[in-house]
Amino acid sequence: MQIDIITLFPEMFQGPFDWSILKKAQQKEALKINFVNPRDFTEDAHRTVDDRPYGGGKGMLLKAEPLFRAVRQVKKKSSWVVYLSPKGKPLEQSQVKKLSQKQHLILVCGHYEGVDERFLKGVDLVLSIGDYVLTGGEIPAMVLVDAVARLLPGVLDVEATREESFAAKRLESPHFTRPQVWRGRRVPSLLLNGDHQEIATWRESQSLKLTKSLRPDLLTKTKRIQEAKSKSISV
C-alpha cells in the first residue's frame, strides 16, 4: 500500500513511523509512506497557504488551491482521498479494515480553523478520531496509518488481528502472563488447565462482561445492525 500524507508539518512524523509495527511494515515493503507539503504548491514569495475566512470569525483557513495541487500531484485512479477533521465520520475498526484494502490512500491533514469548504468536494471521505479538537490533522493521520498498517498482509499474524478489541464489535477479554502470582494476585486457574475449548468459552464470556461494563454502546449498536438486517431479509 502507498500512503501519501498532505501536511504542512512533515517533521512531526519523524519518530512515530520509524519504530515498531510501522517500521516493520515499511521494511517488508507492505507499506510505503510519502509526504507532500502544500507550501510547495503556492506561487507567492511567502508560500502562503492560509487566509482569513469570508464573513469574519477568528483564526485562519487553509486555502483550497495549494491543497488541490498537492493532492493532484500524487493522485491516481486507485487513490482514496481522506480528510482528517473533527467534523468527520467517527473512525471505527470496520472503516479501518475497508481502508486497509485500498491500494493508495491520500491523507489530508487540516490545520488552523480548517479548510476552504470547496476543497472537500474532491475528498472521498472525512474522518474523525474522536469528539475533541486537536491542533491539526497530523496526529489523527498517525493514528489512521498505524491502525491500517496492522491489517496489511504479512505485517501481523492474521489470528492476532482477528481476535482484537472491536474486531467482533466487542472488547477483547483480559490477558495474563508470567508469573502465575504477582503481588498476591493469581492468574485465573482455568487458563492453566490446558482445555482450549473451556478457555475459549471463558474468554468469550469475559469479553461480553467487559463490553457490558465499559462499552455497552457497542452491544446496542450491534443489536441495531442485526435488527436492521433481519428486517431487510424479511421484506
Domain stop point among 121, 149, 177? 149
Q: Are residues 96 and 142 in the same domain?
A: yes
Domain residue limits at 126: 2-149
- Asked whether residue 199 is domain-assigned, the answer is yes
Residues 9/39, Cβ–Cβ less than 8 Å = no
- pLDDT of 228 reads 57
Q: Are residues 22 and 121 in the same domain?
A: yes
User: Using CA atoms, how far apart are residues 191 and 176, in angstroms rounded to an integer?
Assistant: 9
> pLDDT tens, position by position, for the chain (235 residues)?
999 999 999 999 988 888 888 999 999 999 999 999 999 999 889 999 999 988 888 889 999 999 999 999 999 999 999 999 988 999 999 999 999 999 999 999 998 888 999 999 999 999 999 998 898 999 999 999 999 999 999 898 665 555 555 556 788 899 999 999 999 999 999 999 999 999 999 999 999 999 999 989 888 876 665 555 566 665 5
Q: Are residues 141 and 175 in the same domain?
A: no
Residues 115/83, Cβ–Cβ less than 8 Å = yes
Q: Are residues 45 and 125 in the same domain?
A: yes
Q: Are residues 138 and 176 in the same domain?
A: no
Q: Are residues 98 and 72 in the same domain?
A: yes
- Asked whether residue 158 is domain-assigned, the answer is no
Q: Are residues 205 and 142 in the same domain?
A: no
- pLDDT of 167 reads 58
Considering the entire predicted model, what is its pTM? Answer: 0.81
Domain stop point among 88, 121, 149? 149
Number of domains in the chain: 2
- pLDDT of 146 reads 95
Q: Are residues 182 and 73 in the same domain?
A: no
- pLDDT of 170 reads 85
Q: Are residues 67 and 142 in the same domain?
A: yes
Q: Are residues 140 and 31 in the same domain?
A: yes
- Asked whether residue 155 is domain-assigned, the answer is no
Q: Are residues 110 and 176 in the same domain?
A: no
Q: Are residues 80 and 176 in the same domain?
A: no
Domain stop point among 149, 175, 199? 149
- pLDDT of 162 reads 58
- pLDDT of 133 reads 86
- pLDDT of 225 reads 56
CATH number at residue 203: 1.10.1270.20
- pLDDT of 101 reads 96
